[in-house]
Amino acid sequence: MNQKIMNVVGARPNFMKIAPLMAELKKHSEFDSTLLHTGQHYDEVMSKLFFKDLGLPEPDIYLRIGSANHGAQTGKIMIEFETVVEKEKPDMIVVVGDVNSTIACGLVAVKQGIKLAHVEAGLRSFDRTMPEEINRLLTDQISDLLFITEKSGEENLLKEGIEKDKIHFVGNVMIDSLLSHLEKARDSKILSDLNLKSGEYVTLTLHRPSNVDSKEQFLQILNALSEIQKEIPIVFPIHPRSKNRLNQFGFEDKLKEMPGLLITEPLGYLDFLKLLAESKFVLTDSGGIQEETTVLGVPCLTLRDNTERPVTVTQGTNLVIGNRAGSIIEKSNKILNGESKKGRSPDLWDGKAAKRIVQVLLEQNF
Ligand code: UD1
C-alpha cells in the first residue's frame, strides 16, 4: 500500500523548502503526498506569489489561520490541524524550518501517533528569546526523522540526547530550490523595473522582532542606513511587520531624508533571487538569506548577535555583525572599499537534498 505523506507549510520561508521535496516525492509511486498550508502567511505577496514562482501545486488543504499572538496562532493551528489529521490519517507528517506552523503541526502529529519528519533540523542560535529557537528545539525533540543541512546540526542534536540513527545529513532543500530556479530568475526584470544596475546596490531585509519591534533599535538601523544610502542605493522589500512598525513609530520623515533608500512591497521568489544574486552586498536579519548569499557568493552582513547557521560564517560569505549603527556602517564601508568576505558552498548544498531525503524515506518501515 502507498504511504501517505502530508507535507506542511505555513509561512514564506517554508515554501522554497517544501517545493523540491514535493517534486521528488511525486516521482515515486510508493508515496501519496499531499500539501497542507496552515495560512500563517496569507497575503498575495507573502504566500500566493511563491506558489506560482516555485511551481508548487495548490495546497490540498488550506487552514486559513492568519495572524495572531503566538499562543493563539499556535493553538488555532493545532485545533484545525488535528481535525484534518484525524480525517486524513497520514502515515507521516513532514514539517520544515522553524515557524509556528512547524511546532504546532509537529505536536499534533506525535500526539496522534503519526511519524514526524523535520527538514532543516538541528540549527541552534542558543538564543531562547527568539521564537524560532523554541520552535526548533521542541520540534527536534519530538521528531522521528531529523534531516540536517550542516554538520553543526548533528553536534547540537546529539548533545540534546537525540539518537544518532534518527539524524540524516542530507544538505539543504532551500538551496535545491535556489539552484533549480537561478536561470529562470536571471530573466527577471526587477533591476530595470527598480532602475538599478547589477552590482551597484545593496539589498536589505529586516523583520525580526528584536530589530523592528523596539523604536530605539529600529532607529539604530535607520541611522546606519541613512549613512550607507549616501554611498550606494539600498533596496528594501519590506515585510508587513516592519512596515507596520515604521508607521507606528512615525518614521516617515526620517525616510523622506533618505533618497537612496528604496522601499518596495515584498517580492516574489524569482525577482528576489535576481535581486540577491546581483547585489553588491546584503544586509539582513533573515536566517535563509544567510544561506542563499553564501551559495550565490554575495557578501552578507547579518544584523544579529548570533546565527543558527554557523557554516555560512565558517565557510560562506556571512559576517554576523550585531545591530548597532556604528558596526553596520563600519562593516558596510569595508565592503564598499573592496574588502569583502569570500566563501564557498558548504558540503552537500548541491541541489540534491530532496533526493537524499526521499531515499531515506524509501528505506523507512512506516
Ligand atoms: C514568521 C516566522 C519567522 C519567519 C517569518 C518570515 C514565526 C514565529 N515566525 O514571522 O520565523 O522568518 O515569518 O516572514 O513563525 N502579516 C501580513 N500578511 C501576512 C503575514 C503576516 O500582513 O501574510 C503581518 C501581520 O501583521 C502579522 C505580522 O505580519 O501580525 C507578523 O506575521 P507572523 O506570521 O506573526 O510573523 P512573521 O514576523 O512574519
pLDDT tens readout for residues 75-115:
999 999 999 999 999 999 999 999 999 999 999 999 999 99
Q: Where are the alpha helices (DSSP H) in 148-259?
A: 151-159, 173-186, 190-193, 209-212, 215-228, 240-248, 252-256
For the chain, the average pLDDT equals 97
Region of 297 (left: φ > 0; alpha: ψ -120 to 50; beta: rest) is left
Cβ 356 under 6 angstroms from ligand 1: no
Evaluate if pTM is beyond 0.85: yes
pLDDT tens column, 165-207: 999 999 999 999 999 999 999 999 999 999 999 999 999 999 9
Cβ 209 under 6 angstroms from ligand 1: no
CA of 211 to the centre of ligand 1 (A): 14
Which atom of ligand 1 is the closest one to the Cα of 46? 23
Q: Is 118 a catalytic residue?
A: no
CA–CA distance, 329 with 130 (Å, rounded to integer): 25
Rg of the chain over Cα atoms, rounded to whole angstroms, equals: 20
DSSP state of 231: T
- The residue assigned the cell 537612496 is 260
pLDDT band with cut points at 50, 70 and 90 for residue 1: confident
In the chain, what percentage of residues exceed pLDDT 90? Answer: 99
Cβ 248 under 6 angstroms from ligand 1: no
Closest protein CA for atom 21 of ligand 1: 41
pLDDT band with cut points at 50, 70 and 90 for residue 130: very high
Structural domains present in the chain: 3-171+349-363 (3.40.50.2000), 187-336 (3.40.50.2000)
Residue 236 has a pLDDT of 98
Which atom of ligand 1 is the closest one to the Cα of 11? 13
For residue 151, count CB atoms less than 10 angstroms from its CB and return exposed for 0-12, middle for 13-18, buried for 19 or more.
Answer: middle
Catalytic residue among 41, 118, 181, 207: 207
CA of 294 to the centre of ligand 1 (A): 24
CA of 41 to the centre of ligand 1 (A): 6
Q: Phi/psi of residue 78, each to 5°?
A: -60, -45
Is pLDDT at 135 greater than 90 in this prediction? yes
Query: Which amino acid is residue 158, in one-letter code?
Result: L
Cβ 247 under 6 angstroms from ligand 1: no
Residue 157 has a pLDDT of 98
3-class secondary structure per residue, 114-145: CEEEEEEECCCCCCCCCHHHHHHHHHHHHCCE
CA of 299 to the centre of ligand 1 (A): 26
Is-contact 13 97, C-beta < 8 A?
yes
Closest protein CA for atom 19 of ligand 1: 41
CA-to-CA dists, residue 280 to 222, 290, 340, angstroms: 19, 15, 10
Instruction: Provide mean pLDDT across the span 241-257.
Output: 96
Pocket test for ligand 1, best of 14, 41, 102, 243 (most atoms within 8 A of CB): 41
Is pLDDT at 366 greater than 90 in this prediction? no
Closest protein CA for atom 26 of ligand 1: 241
pLDDT tens column, 292-324: 999 999 999 999 999 999 999 999 999 999 999
Pairing of strands 300-302, 167-169: unpaired
Closest protein CA for atom 14 of ligand 1: 12
For residue 176, count CB atoms less than 10 angstroms from its CB and return exposed for 0-12, middle for 13-18, buried for 19 or more.
Answer: buried
For residue 110, count CB atoms less than 10 angstroms from its CB and return exposed for 0-12, middle for 13-18, buried for 19 or more.
Answer: middle
In the chain, what percentage of residues exceed pLDDT 70? Answer: 100
